[in-house]
Amino acid sequence: CTEKSLSHLALGGVRNVSLNLTVSNAGDDAYDTNIYLNFSREVHYINFLQREEKGISCMLVELDFLMCSVGFPFMRAQTKYHLSVLFDTSHLSGENETLLFLVHARSANPEHDSTLHDNTLELSIPLVHEVDTTITGVVTPTSFVYGNSVDRSRFLQLDDMECSFQPLNFTFQVINNGPSRLPGSTVDIRIPNRLTGNGADMFHIIDTQVSEGRGNCTWHRNPKPCTIPQDKESIFHTIFAFFTKSGRKVLDCDRPGRACLTISCSLSSQAKEEATNIDVQMLLNTEILQRDSSSVIQFVTRGHVQLDDRAVEVSTGLPEEISLVFEALHSQEPRGYVVGWIIAISLLVGILIFLLLAVLLWKMGFFRRHYREIIEAEKNRKDSDESWDWVQKSQ
């Protein structure tokens, strides 16, 4: 019989294992009893321990074969011998899913075939990659200004394209904090790619690189990186949108209905405390941003690590997901033709108000009063008063 102290073995986290064996002799004295152990060459025999001094000795015949003599020259009848065999497991690669031990007990005495079934034992310990992964990242620049008043030389123009692009650089770092080697992982990077559900794609990926060639990235390429939306709105709607610009629009892939660009990076194995960098270079089409009514557009980019099926996450509170935020700030200055239309409409409104006041005054009779008759009547009244004063003085 056997007794295993581990339900599984964490690669890199457990350096030694103890194989506890019990050998029983239910018959007569067994002469020249031996135990034979076969095991992987990735584990190394260290030593053996016995509960009581009963003449047990072990010898490593080959790197993967151990022979232990029990009770030489013979094993007493109706007795049990207990021993523990220690192995070094620090060099396990994890290519196999289990650590296998084959144990066989045999003596020089003849034994009936019906009792041979318990002379052989197969012991297996599942091998598990216990890891604690975390992901960090940065984006540059964290904000930029766009708009008609911004010099186009601040942006990037591609050959044969009229669009102005804002370069953006993302760097993600995946760290394996152990204790085991991470056999592989996948990093999914999600970037909000449209202002509206049926709008044009804003981002164009130039290149992705994984440090030291330890992985590769795939994504859906934008067939039309330079898309300039056509002005289908009236000038009055454009002017209204300028005066009613909202404060902030947040584009986040975690929100339902958001169209996102996904970059999937497959990474190779990582040793304990090893870090792998992912660099992403992309361009943002600012022509699409011009058509939005927000003064600030906030992009929330998310990165998430998914482990290989052979690995188990042992969380210690470090994040397995990260969000990077950058902002597009509108210059808040209208286009030239919008300014012209604002001036023209203001003049027109001023003239209409002046004409309206004139009509109101005319309706009230302000322009129909008989000023000449009033002036002549006032003059006659003064002449009459002067004539009356002269008559009184004559009397």
Domain that holds residue 375: 337-386
DSSP type of residue 317? S
pLDDT of 245 above 60:
no
Q: Which of 318, 333, 348 is the last residue of a domain?
A: 333
Express each pLDDT in 26-82 by its tens digit.
Answer: 777 777 788 899 999 999 999 998 877 777 889 999 999 999 888 777 777 777 888
Q: For 122-131, 162-171, 311-320, which range has the lowest pLDDT when averaged over its residues?
A: 311-320
Closest to 24 (Cα-Cα) out of 66, 76, 99: 76
Reading the block at residue 277, the tokens are 């960098």
Express each pLDDT in 92-144 by its tens digit.
Answer: 877 788 889 999 988 877 776 666 777 888 888 888 888 899 999 999 999 99
Question: How confident is residue 1, by pLDDT bands cut at 50, 70 and 90?
Answer: very low
Q: Judge if 140 and 169 occupy the same domain.
A: yes
pLDDT of 243 above 70:
no
Q: Judge if 235 and 314 occupy the same domain.
A: yes
Q: Which of 86, 111, 128 is the last residue of a domain?
A: 128
Q: Which of 333, 352, 376 is the last residue of a domain?
A: 333
- Asked if residue 179 has a cis previous peptide bond (ω within 30° of 0), the answer is yes
Q: Judge if 115 and 145 occupy the same domain.
A: no
d(CA 59, CA 47): 9
pLDDT at 268: 93
The domain tally of the chain equals 3
User: Do the Cβ atoms of 309 and 94 come closer than 8 Å?
Assistant: no
Q: Judge if 37 and 64 occupy the same domain.
A: yes
Q: Which residue has the tokens 């330079």?
A: 226
pLDDT at 2: 45
The domain that contains 81 carries what CATH number?
2.60.40.1510
* Strands, E assignment, 268-310: 274-285, 294-307
DSSP type of residue 254? T
